[in-house]
């Protein structure tokens, strides 16, 4: 079943000072129970629930993707102890001294350690922040390696070789969670195919050697009292690059989603749930019928104090050599659609922005939404204290 999470639309003016938008409508992030699609028992191909149950779930996913682009999922089947293991691994790595962590930087690859203020995600959209304030987070990335797909002649230049820190049981805990998140992402793409009225093999052919990456993030501002001066960002506004993202996060305020009215809203995950958002490539497939929603992370501040905050995003990005183009039934009047693009070229343009400071001039639609949100009449919704989370 699906329910709606409601966040009051109070405004605080994080985009520009002392400007608010009267907005009396509530912002809803649907909660969808995936149980009817999740394999159970000894029969790996079996799924809990009837065909009618799965039809209902597919309809709920279609509604969420068409209106918000973000979903909360429960019934995903990841055991709590696996999530606890991931959280412990994140704690153990980021507790290392900075110079130790920097030894795990990997030049030119989407792997290893990224120190605080080394990235600017808004440039992945071709948008430069007014004060060139890079993002206040540190991250550690692992992912699928090309050599795991034998016989395809794939290059590690497109995937990357993992580096593993010398932290007890780090690799074991992270790989266990990675496997579970990968399963959930593939359950979601099966639901997506049903929701879009497409055969299941639509996503199979796009993802049988997918570039999948797990990005573990620690927000690096010191805990304690803080006075915010200027447009400080935990992570700048951006869309995700690939097909779908599955996110675990601490239940601490921070993640903000750009709503249809151009107002930023805080998003709060439910207990035991995961946040899901669509990436650019799924938006391309549907010609923006399904939305790759802009989001960002504000400093995790509760009652004037910086709070500790962690997250882990699993990016299911698609095959490096897959060509993604708008499905014929979603083309607009006169055949209006996104131009075809390979996953390789799309991700390279995005990473050139976030990692290397080169504005992505191809992100025309996304950049227009960011600039609209910076209009003086628009503002951001504040953190709602209590059960809350972020990216």
How many other CB atoms are there within 10 angstroms of residue 361's CB atom? 10
Q: Could you tell me which of 1, 13, 29 has the C-alpha nearest to residue 293?
A: 29
- pLDDT of residue 24 exceeding 60, the answer is no
Which tens digits make up the pLDDT trace of 178-235? 999 999 999 999 999 999 999 989 999 999 999 999 999 998 665 556 555 555 555 6
Mean pLDDT over residues 122-144, rounded? 61
Model pLDDT, residue 382: 36
Under 8 Å CB-to-CB from 258, ≥6 apart: which residues? Answer: 237, 264, 265, 293, 294, 295, 369, 373
User: In degrees, to the nearest 5, what angle opens at C-alpha 249 toward C-alphas 245 and 252?
Assistant: 135
User: Judging by beta carbons within 10 Å of its beta carbon (0-12, 13-18, 19+), is residue 206 exposed, middle or buried?
Assistant: buried
Which tens digits make up the pLDDT trace of 306-323? 777 899 999 999 999 999
Instruction: Name the percent of the chain lying above pLDDT 90.
Output: 53
pTM: 0.80
Mean pLDDT over residues 2-11, rounded? 42
Model pLDDT, residue 219: 81
Q: Average model confidence (pLDDT) for the chain?
A: 79
Rounded Cα distance between 136 and 220, Å, is 6
Q: In Å, how far are 32, 170, 275 from 136, measured between CA atoms?
A: 31, 24, 21
* Least confident window among 105-109, 324-328, 370-374: 370-374
């Amino acid at each position: 079943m699906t329910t709606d999470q409601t966040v009051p639309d109070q405004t605080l003016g994080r985009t520009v000072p002392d400007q608010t938008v009267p907005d009396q409508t509530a912002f809803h992030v649907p909660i969808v129970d995936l149980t009817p699609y999740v394999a159970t028992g000894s029969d790996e191909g079996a799924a809990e629930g009837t065909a009618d149950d799965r039809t209902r779930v597919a309809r709920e996913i279609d509604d969420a993707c068409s209106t918000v682009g973000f979903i909360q999922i429960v019934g995903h089947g990841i055991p709590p102890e696996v999530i606890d293991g991931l959280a412990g691994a994140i704690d153990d790595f980021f507790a290392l001294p900075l110079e130790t962590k920097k030894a795990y930087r990997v030049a030119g690859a989407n792997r290893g350690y990224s120190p605080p203020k080394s990235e600017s995600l808004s440039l992945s959209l071709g948008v430069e922040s007014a004060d060139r304030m890079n993002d206040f987070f540190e991250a550690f990335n692992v992912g699928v390696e090309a050599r795991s797909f034998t016989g395809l002649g794939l290059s590690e230049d497109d995937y990357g070789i993992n580096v593993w820190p010398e932290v007890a049981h780090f690799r074991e805990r992270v790989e266990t969670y990675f496997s579970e998140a990968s399963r959930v992402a593939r359950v979601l793409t099966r639901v997506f195919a049903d929701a879009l009225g497409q055969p299941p093999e639509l996503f199979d052919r796009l993802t049988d050697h997918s570039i999948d990456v797990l990005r573990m993030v620690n927000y690096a501002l010191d805990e304690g009292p803080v006075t915010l001066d200027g447009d400080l960002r935990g992570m700048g506004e951006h869309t995700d690059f690939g097909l779908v993202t599955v996110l675990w996060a601490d239940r601490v305020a921070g993640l903000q989603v750009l709503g249809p009215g151009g107002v930023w809203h805080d998003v709060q995950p439910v207990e035991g749930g995961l946040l899901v958002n669509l990436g650019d490539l799924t938006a391309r497939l549907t010609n923006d019928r399904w939305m790759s929603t802009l989001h960002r992370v504000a400093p995790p501040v509760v009652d004037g104090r910086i709070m500790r905050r962690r997250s882990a995003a699993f990016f299911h990005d698609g095959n490096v050599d897959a060509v993604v183009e708008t499905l014929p039934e979603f083309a607009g009047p006169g055949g209006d659609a996104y131009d075809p693009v390979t996953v390789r070229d799309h991700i390279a343009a995005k990473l050139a922005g976030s990692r290397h400071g080169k504005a992505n001039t191809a992100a025309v639609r996304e950049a227009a939404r960011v600039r609209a949100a910076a209009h003086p009449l628009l503002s951001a919704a504040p953190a709602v204290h209590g059960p809350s989370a972020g990216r």
